[in-house]
Amino acid sequence: MSQSLAILGGQPVRTRPFTSWPIFGEPEEQRLLRTLRSGKWGKLHGLEVAEFEQRFAAMHGVKHGIGVVNGTVSLRIALMAAGIQAEDEVIVPPYTFLATATAVVEANAVPVFADIDLETFNLDPKAVEAAITPRTRVIMPVHMAGQVADMDAIMAIAKRHKLVVIEDAAHAHAAIYRKSPAGSIGQMGSFSFQSSKNLTSGEGGIIITSDDTLAEACRSIHNCGRIAGGLWYEHHVISANYRLGEFQGAILNGQLDRLEAQTQTRDRNGQYLAARLSRLPGIHPQKRPADCTRHSYHLFLFRIDAAAFGAPRQAVLKALEAEGIPVCGGYALPLYRQPLFLNRAFGPYLPNASQTLDYGKVSCPNCEKICREQGAWFEQSLFLGSQTDMDDIANAFEKVYQQREALNRWAKEKTA
Ligand SMILES: Cc1ncc(COP(=O)(O)O)c(C=O)c1O
């Protein structure tokens, strides 16, 4: 193999593709066909979503699962079930997908951004505590990339200040914190089944909880405000049809059978890669605390300290791509720097708070550093293959490191 970097015309470390996603087969086909032929395509009549809700709740050791159309609506329904009032505050991290914060706005509440920890990429409990005001009602930690946030600390803060915790577990299917599955620790947990997720039906979401009252509220809100025992044309709360469909339920039941083995593979490969990459100067995989019993590796996060590695992040990522390793620089800016927040483009929501809110003044230095300078990730499907796949990734990294001077010359020429 040529030692010359592929970006300079050398032989790439890897030419084979990694595992493609999604993975499906006969079980999904059979369930889909059975659903099709039953003619019962909606949740209120079929059996697939009901089976899935029951299995997903049982897997988390909780009493209820409410399948909904996606993992954004699930967050908003959870907020509404928790009794959020206009212009209440919800603490969220800024290093997350848009939905964590926009679900709050769509519940007519104010997202308040608390910084993340530089090493774990998860909400920093000290920043959460500092963000609490008399208007705070909910803390919404994201289990970033599939590593559960510091839930002991977050639950303790919530208890002290009488706040509700809604876990955004969109990345964390089958992740485990000590002995507790992600999503089962707060009052409610929310998951997404969108295409990229570790458990997917293309689109979809679920709320889980052991609280009967919250479950009943979620069920009502996702079903046009109907109530158990009520009439069909009897609507009690502001709501709509947010029900998960039977075809998605059919796929999810098939996918759920695969989840345990896939999660074990991802966790094993992720840990192996983290150990190999940690040996390289300036490469810092997401720090895994002792309470992380299992990481779901929806993403494999890492930081590149350019000074210690000896080459800038963008050049390293481009060089890895050329070596045949798909990689991404992660969220390019903190959520509060999106035009949506800077311009308070909230439509009819937050009419009062919008007058005074100034997201331009928000500063979360760790998130800024990760977005602007250091962050990067690999996607989950890379981790479904063999250890050889991990060795290819690590070997590509080592090659780029060894050839960093040539890479720097290439980067300089590009910018000249
Ligand atoms: C952390 C996080 N929360 C919420 C969502 C929203 O899920 P959905 O796309 O299913 O609405 C996503 C992703 O898509 C996400 O990554």
Cα 71 to middle of ligand 1, angstroms? 5
pLDDT in tens, 143-175: 999 999 999 999 999 999 999 999 999 999 999
Q: How far apart are CA 215 and CA 63, in angstroms?
A: 9
CA distances from 208 to 27, 59, 124, 140, 336 (A): 25, 11, 24, 14, 28
E strands, 50-140, in order: 64-68, 89-92, 110-113, 136-139
Higher pLDDT, 355 or 108: 108
* 168 catalytic residue (yes or no): yes
The Cα–Cα gap between 188 and 77 comes to 10
Residue 382 CB–ligand 1 contact under 6 Å: no
Rounded distance between C-alpha atoms, residue 44 and residue 113, angstroms: 38
Atom of ligand 1 nearest to the CA of 203: 10
Q: Is the distance from CB of 204 to CB of 68 less than 8 angstroms?
A: yes
Residue 218 lies in a domain: yes
Please tell me the distance from the alpha carbon of residue 91 to that of residue 136, in angstroms, as a whole number. 7
Residue numbers of the domain that contains 124: 26-255
Segment 360-381 shows an average pLDDT of 98
Q: Say yes or no: CB of residue 181 within 6 Å of ligand 1.
A: no
Q: What is the mean pLDDT of residues 43-65?
A: 98
- Ligand 1 site, residue 380, Cβ cutoff 6 A: no
Note if 235 is an active site residue.
no
213 falls within a domain: yes
CB atoms closer than 10 angstroms to residue 308: 11
CA of 328 to the centre of ligand 1 (A): 18
Distance 401 CA to ligand 1 centre (A): 34
User: Is residue 54 assigned to a domain?
Assistant: yes
Q: Residue 192: CB within 6 Å of ligand 1?
A: yes
How many structural domains comprise the chain? Answer: 1
| Whether residue 142 has its Cβ less than 6 Å from ligand 1 | yes
Among 305, 370, 363, 302, which residue's Cα sits nearest to residue 333? 370
Q: How far is the CA of 73 from the centre of ligand 1 (A)?
A: 9
CA angle 405, 389, 367 (to 5 degrees): 60
| C-alpha–C-alpha distance, residues 191 and 200, integer Å | 10
pLDDT at 1: 45
Q: Taking the CA of residue 331 as centre, how many other CA atoms within 13 Å lie in the half-sphere pointing to its CB? A: 21
3 state DSSP class of 223 = strand
Report angle CA 330, 335, 338 to the nearest 5 degrees.
105
Burial pattern 229-266, b for ≥16 Cβ within 10 A else e, equals eeeeeebeeebeebbbbbbbbbbbbbbbebbeebbebb
Q: What is the pLDDT of residues 180-207, one digit of tens each?
A: 999 999 999 999 999 999 999 999 999 9
55 lies in some domain: yes
Mark whether 197 is an active-site residue.
Answer: yes
Looking at the chain, how many residues does it have? 416
Mean pLDDT of the chain, nearest integer? 97
What angle do the packed helices 313-322 and 404-415 form, to 10 degrees? 110
Look at residues 100, 260, 115 and name the one whose alpha carbon lies nearest to residue 191.
100
φ, ψ (nearest 5 deg) of residue 232: -65, -40
Q: How far apart are CA 188 and CA 18, in angstroms?
A: 35
As to burial, measured by CB atoms within 10 angstroms (0-12 exposed, 13-18 middle, 19+ buried), residue 279 is: exposed
Catalytic residue among 16, 162, 233, 358: 233
* CA 220, chain centre distance (Å): 26
Find all residues with CB under 8 Å of 356, minimum gap 6, and list them: none
For a mutational test of ligand 1's pocket, the pick from 167, 194, 196, 331, i.e. the residue with the most ligand atoms closer than 8 A to its C-beta, is: 194
Pocket test for ligand 1, best of 69, 76, 97 (most atoms within 8 A of CB): 97
Q: What is the CATH number for 143? A: 3.40.640.10
Residues 6+ apart with CB under 8 A from 375: 95, 121, 301, 302, 303, 329, 330, 331
- Min mean pLDDT across 243-252, 305-314, 344-353 is at 344-353
Taking the mean position of all CA atoms in its chain, how far away is CA 54? 22
Tell me the average pLDDT across 43-62: 98
Question: 97 alpha carbon to ligand 1 midpoint, in Å?
Answer: 6
Of these residues, 243, 298, 318, 404, which one is catalytic?
Answer: 243
Amino acid identity at 120: T
Catalytic annotation on 14? no
- 294 part of the active site: no
In a domain, 155, yes or no: yes
Catalytic residue among 14, 173, 197, 404: 197
Q: How far apart are CA 15 and CA 17, in angstroms?
A: 7
Q: Identify whether 246 is part of a domain.
A: yes
Q: Say if ligand 1 is within 6 A of residue 410 CB.
A: no
Structure confidence by residue, pLDDT tens digits, 228-276: 999 999 999 999 999 999 999 999 999 999 999 999 999 999 999 999 9
Is 97 one of the annotated active-site residues of the chain?
A: yes
For residue 190, report the distance from its CA to the centre of ligand 1, in Å.
9
